[in-house]
């Protein structure tokens, strides 16, 4: 099979992937649906010499999924593309099933991509997905970030991800496949009104009649992305004026912070909480605003917020979130910490009450006890070797990942 797709799509994909080395291995996630099948054919046609690897994720939620994965495998064989089936066997039914399945899918694809030495993984999201997501988030009262077009290119889980088809609607892609005589699989859950995305999809004809076409919604989402990027740029410039990093903590000057527009305040607090906790999603806005007004210590998002003298708000990791977390010297601790110049027998742990008891000068650090309990420390068996924030031992054994705003 030698698919020939319109020049517009092929040139778009070739331009997007042009920065990658010619011999780079490109991964593509193919569910068997029309969007991902169109992406597979387009990648093969646009980059006929590139090493291409495809993967299909079977979440174990539908009987038909196994047959669909086999169908994709046969299609890939026709195209000369290596194909893997990734099975997820431990996904329980219950609330937020789609979100949990999505998280498990990205985990599985990232691990597969690393095993295959992929430089990136391409996903088949289309302009139609952008419009549907915009409507879903509008219904939830989302702000600028939620209403912004989904990212075209980003890095997560140690892998670069690309969405080459955001400029093309699902109708466009299905028309292309029909013109090629290429079929695809239909997932029955895509017609189940129990899911909000399906309800939004079913409402599309009525919205079209009002002028709210998928194209116009997607264009609005793109404009929102531009606003998002401008805000992120502005906020990045403001960080040195209102906050500083204290090893693994963030210290805000509350007086300076409160002089900023509300949107800036919420973004900076959310960025700090996400960097410290490692969570990908920000807390609700109402909770963020309570942080600034808090006069007493409070917990939020796996963090503890401690008002200090001088109108300072310290954000630290919550001890209960890392109390039992232990990693070896060659592995990251709590997503942000790594050990340097150490032996393999060393471990990173939260300092905790027993460790703090071994730091006689911790009060001289000026840091509150609550912040020190969750601070990282280096151990060799039962022996405490270093606790930088508590002024104990070597200070250069631990290295912290810089926050995204630096």
In terms of Cα–Cα distance, which of 13, 3, 7, 42 is closest to 182?
Answer: 3
Task: Give mean pLDDT, residues 360-374.
Answer: 97
- Check for a shared fold between 7-218 and 232-318: no
> What does the pLDDT look like over 275-328, one tens digit per residue?
999 988 888 888 888 888 888 999 999 999 999 999 999 999 999 999 999 999
Pairing of strands 159-162, 118-122: parallel
- pLDDT score for 5: 63
Pick the range with the lowest mean pLDDT from 90-104, 155-169, 283-297, 345-359: 90-104
Contact 249, 315 (CB under 8 A): yes
- pLDDT score for 229: 95
Cα three-residue angle 35-189-149, rounded to 5 degrees: 45
Neighbour count for residue 105 (Cβ, 10 Å) = 20
> What does the pLDDT look like over 51-90, one tens digit per residue?
999 999 998 778 888 999 999 999 999 999 999 999 988 7
Q: How far is Cα 146 from Cα 150, in angstroms, rounded to an integer?
A: 9
Q: How far is Cα 90 from Cα 290, in angstroms, rounded to an integer?
A: 37
Q: What does the block give as tokens for 70?
A: 């086999």
Task: Give mean pLDDT, residues 91-105.
Answer: 78
Q: How far is Cα 132 from Cα 312, in angstroms, rounded to an integer?
A: 42
Provide the percentage of residues in the chain whose pLDDT is more than 90: 68
> What does the pLDDT look like over 216-273, one tens digit per residue?
999 999 999 999 999 999 999 999 999 999 999 999 999 999 999 999 999 999 999 9
- pLDDT score for 4: 46
Contact 248, 276 (CB under 8 A): yes
Mean pLDDT of the chain: 91
Of 2.60.120, 3.30.465, 3.10.110, 3.40.1350, the CATH number of 232-318 is 3.30.465
Q: How far is Cα 93 from Cα 97, in angstroms, rounded to an integer?
A: 6
Q: Under 8 Å CB-to-CB from 401, ≥6 apart: which residues? A: 332, 335, 336, 337, 338
In terms of Cα–Cα distance, which of 326, 329, 333 is closest to 341?
Answer: 329
Element (H, E) at 378: strand 376-380
Higher per-residue confidence, 391 vs 340: 391
Contact 59, 152 (CB under 8 A): no
Assign 120 to helix, strand or coil: strand
Q: How far is Cα 58 from Cα 65, in angstroms, rounded to an integer?
A: 6
Residue 200 has pLDDT above 60, yes or no: yes
Q: Which CATH class is domain 7-218?
A: alpha beta
| Domains in the chain: boundaries | 7-218, 232-318, 320-400
Q: What does the block give as tokens for 271?
A: 């960025």
Q: How far is Cα 276 from Cα 298, in angstroms, rounded to an integer?
A: 15
Q: Under 8 Å CB-to-CB from 153, ≥6 apart: which residues? A: 16, 160, 161, 162, 163
Q: Under 8 Å CB-to-CB from 270, ≥6 apart: which residues? A: 282, 283, 288
Q: How far is Cα 161 from Cα 76, in angstroms, rounded to an integer?
A: 21
Q: How far is Cα 98 from Cα 198, in angstroms, rounded to an integer?
A: 12
């Amino acid at each position: 099979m030698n698919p020939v797709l319109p020049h517009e799509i092929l040139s778009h994909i070739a331009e997007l992937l042009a920065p990658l080395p010619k011999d780079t291995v490109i991964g593509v996630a193919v569910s068997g649906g029309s969007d991902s099948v169109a992406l597979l054919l387009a990648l093969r046609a646009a980059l006929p010499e590139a090493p291409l690897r495809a993967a299909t994720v079977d979440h174990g939620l539908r009987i038909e999924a196994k047959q669909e994965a086999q169908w994709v495998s046969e299609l890939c064989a026709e195209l000369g593309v290596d194909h893997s089936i990734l099975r997820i066997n431990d996904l329980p039914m219950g609330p937020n099933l789609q979100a949990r399945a999505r998280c498990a899918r990205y985990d599985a694809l990232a691990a597969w991509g690393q095993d295959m030495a992929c430089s990136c993984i391409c996903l088949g999201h289309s302009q139609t997905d952008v419009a549907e997501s915009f409507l879903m988030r509008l219904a939830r009262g989302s702000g600028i970030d939620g209403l912004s077009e989904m990212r075209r290119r980003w890095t997560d889980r140690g892998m670069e991800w690309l969405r080459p088809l955001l400029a093309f609607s699902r109708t466009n892609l299905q028309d292309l496949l029909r013109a090629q005589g290429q079929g695809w699989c239909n997932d029955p859950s895509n017609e189940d009104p129990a899911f909000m995305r399906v309800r939004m999809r079913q409402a599309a004809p009525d919205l079209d009649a009002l002028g709210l076409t998928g194209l116009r919604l997607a264009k609005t989402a793109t404009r929102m992305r531009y606003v998002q990027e401008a805000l992120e740029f502005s906020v990045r410039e403001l960080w040195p004026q209102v906050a500083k990093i204290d090893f693994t903590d963030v210290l805000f000057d509350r007086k300076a912070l409160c002089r900023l527009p509300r949107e800036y305040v919420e973004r900076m607090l959310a960025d700090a909480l996400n960097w410290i906790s490692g969570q990908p999603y920000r807390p609700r806005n109402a909770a963020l605003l309570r942080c600034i007004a808090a006069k007493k210590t409070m917990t939020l998002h796996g963090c503890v917020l401690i008002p200090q003298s001088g109108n300072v708000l310290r954000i630290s990791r919550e001890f209960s979130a890392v109390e039992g977390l232990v990693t070896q010297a060659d592995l990251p601790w709590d997503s942000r910490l790594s050990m340097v110049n150490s032996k393999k027998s060393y471990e990173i742990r939260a300092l905790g009450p027993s460790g703090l008891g071994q730091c006689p000068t911790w009060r001289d650090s000026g840091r509150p006890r609550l912040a020190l309990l969750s601070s990282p420390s280096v151990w060799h068996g039962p022996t405490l070797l270093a606790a930088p924030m508590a002024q104990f031992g070597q200070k250069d054994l631990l290295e912290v990942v810089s926050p995204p705003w630096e």
